[in-house]
Structure 1
Amino acid sequence: MQYQTTLAEEVTYTGIGLHSGLNVTIVLQPAAADTGIVFVRADLAGRPSVTAFAANVTNTMRATTLENGAAKVFTIEHLMAAFSGMGVDNCLVTMTAPEPPVADGSALTFVRLIQQAGIIELTAKRQILKVAAEQTVRVADKFITILPYDGLRITFTSINAHPLLGVQFGDYEITPELFCREIAPARTIGFMNEVAALQAQGLARGGSLENVVVYDEKDVLTPLRFSDELVRHKILDVVGDMALAGCVQGHIIAVKSGHALNTVLAKQVLAAHKRESGGILWMSNKEAE
């Protein structure tokens, strides 16, 4: 039997947002059982909050955005991946801006914060969503599917036209130990020829060689941590986005998937679970009203 967890103590980190370019301080705080991961906007009147739940996803352009009334947060996938990969079920994430810090572009800083805070077990049972039947999302040449499986396994194929990238393949059984070692350090990938267009859309304002693995037309400008860092980061994103469905068990197989397909799959998995059991995971009392 598995029990829910939370942090043992409060921990704080300050940095810059990848897309907003805003300075932000986040405080990760212990939370009671069945709270889930809740983002609190301390910079807004009334400190509105939004639960990290698939139904609250409102945008997936280059990042995953959650909204509930006045509470809006985006680029939450790396922090969510750290919570999921480390097995943290409940936490209050208080933020002074709408976007968590990008840190080094990976989930490693958040993993270290969680390790610094410590993880404690609560008395409530962990709700595990075991996938009972295949669920698939397909758009053109991209797809993501989940199959019944005892655990969480992710198999991802990335295909990119850049001469240094091409086809990358990753297949991992996600455990806290493996996640920390093989997935969490993988950083966001960016391309020089996209910078102007992204910034014109209000994106990538905080991006730099310090927090993004940058490629120009022929070369990589940032030393790599892994030869296949791109596909590992894609798997990191899947872990973070699927955490919006709760503690999911299944074998996820994806080709060229991104936040849009990932979060649609999370919603499909929850919808199937609701039909089968009449239950919804990780929904706050306020959202259930």
Structure 2
Amino acid sequence: MQQTTVAKTVTYTGIGLHSGKSVTITLHPAPINSGIIFARTDLPGIPQVAAVAGNVTNAMRATTLESGVAKVFTVEHLLAAFYAMGIDNCLIEINSVEPPVADGSSLPFVRLLEEAGSVEQEALRNIIDVKEAQTIRVNDSFITIVPYDGFRITFTSINPHPMLGVQFGDYEINTETFVKEIASARTIGFMHEVKLLQDQGLALGGSLENVVVYDDETVLTPLRFSDELVRHKILDVVGDLALVGRIKGHVIAVKSSHAINTALAKKIIESCSK
């Protein structure tokens, strides 16, 4: 299978979920073997950071990439779209610290990549074929990947909220399934967390337009799926494991988070380098 890049330059403008700042991203074609690169056009020298597991420096509430002065966070929804749409190489110019939240899902980025189109390049894809199980466990949460001929994610979400409870999702991750079943699932949030998050400088751009919001008993945002939470959790796994590159393996997760997902990404890279 050949590597791919976007066929033409496209642009999207919105606000960051956590930063609340206006931001524009511009996707450009990129050479073979370059991967997905973020270039901070708002900083002197336009420093770059690659979307690879080794550049993850924080995973609280969102995945942060950092290299020198180049830093971007909440990249997982955008990276999930790149993975699902089969784009291997792209230069993303970004004029703030965080990509647009859009509607809280990956679907706007899927549509952006559909607009951009794709072209094959004169180099083969490198596919990470998992040969033995790799597991990360933290308290009652875990994620593991086992050998599998394809890319599959099985996720169990457990949440004490009366409208959430236990949700289970099991999907073969390919372009068609991702676009139809996963891409439009949005980030969720809880009213009781809003002040705490904003005191930490987070969720400053969050609203009912880009987050599925729950109060103590009900949901304040019309749902797209009855199990939207677990579908979004699967979306996050796709985005976080995109930091490895193309993967063949079956991911099984219970209550997994960005921290555990990205720890698994790093472990997969370590196991393949031995």
Q: TM-score, normalised by structure 2?
A: 1.00
* Aligned match of 2:113: 114
Query: Where do residues 210-221 of structure 1 align in structure 2 (5 Å cutoff)?
Result: 210-221=209-220
Return the offset for 1:123: 1.2
Looking at structure 1, the residues matched to 14 and 80 of structure 2 have their Cα atoms a distance apart, in angstroms, of 18
* Aligned match of 1:232: 231
* Aligned match of 1:284: none
Percent pairwise identity: 67
SS of match in other structure, 1:80: helix
Looking at structure 2, the residues matched to 254 and 86 of structure 1 have their Cα atoms a distance apart, in angstroms, of 23
Looking at structure 2, the residues matched to 181 and 40 of structure 1 have their Cα atoms a distance apart, in angstroms, of 30
* Aligned match of 1:175: 174
SS of match in other structure, 2:77: helix
* Aligned match of 1:39: 38
Looking at structure 1, the residues matched to 86 and 116 of structure 2 have their Cα atoms a distance apart, in angstroms, of 13
What residue identity is the alignment partner of 1:65? T
Looking at structure 1, the residues matched to 65 and 53 of structure 2 have their Cα atoms a distance apart, in angstroms, of 8
How many corresponding residue pairs? 274
Query: Where do residues 26-175 of structure 1 align in structure 2 (5 Å cutoff)?
Result: 26-175=25-174
Looking at structure 1, the residues matched to 236 and 92 of structure 2 have their Cα atoms a distance apart, in angstroms, of 19
SS of match in other structure, 1:264: helix
Looking at structure 2, the residues matched to 218 and 73 of structure 1 have their Cα atoms a distance apart, in angstroms, of 34
What residue identity is the alignment partner of 2:119? I
SS of match in other structure, 2:272: helix
SS of match in other structure, 2:60: coil
* Aligned match of 1:278: none
* Aligned match of 2:254: 255
CA deviation vs aligned residue, 1:132-190 (integer Å, no higher than 9, x gap): 00000000100000000011000000000000000000000001011011000000000
Looking at structure 2, the residues matched to 121 and 182 of structure 1 have their Cα atoms a distance apart, in angstroms, of 26
* Aligned match of 1:191: 190
Looking at structure 1, the residues matched to 132 and 53 of structure 2 have their Cα atoms a distance apart, in angstroms, of 19
Return the offset for 1:119: 1.0
Looking at structure 1, the residues matched to 54 and 173 of structure 2 have their Cα atoms a distance apart, in angstroms, of 24
Looking at structure 2, the residues matched to 150 and 4 of structure 1 have their Cα atoms a distance apart, in angstroms, of 20
SS of match in other structure, 1:244: coil
Query: Where do residues 270-285 of structure 1 align in structure 2 (5 Å cutoff)?
Result: 270-275=269-274
Return the offset for 1:223: 0.4
2:225 is aligned with 1:241:
no
Looking at structure 2, the residues matched to 109 and 119 of structure 1 have their Cα atoms a distance apart, in angstroms, of 17
Unpaired runs of 5+ in structure 1? 276-289
SS of match in other structure, 2:161: coil
SS of match in other structure, 2:223: coil
SS of match in other structure, 1:110: helix
Looking at structure 2, the residues matched to 3 and 256 of structure 1 have their Cα atoms a distance apart, in angstroms, of 35
Q: TM-score, normalised by structure 1?
A: 0.94
CA RMSD of aligned residues (A): 0.4
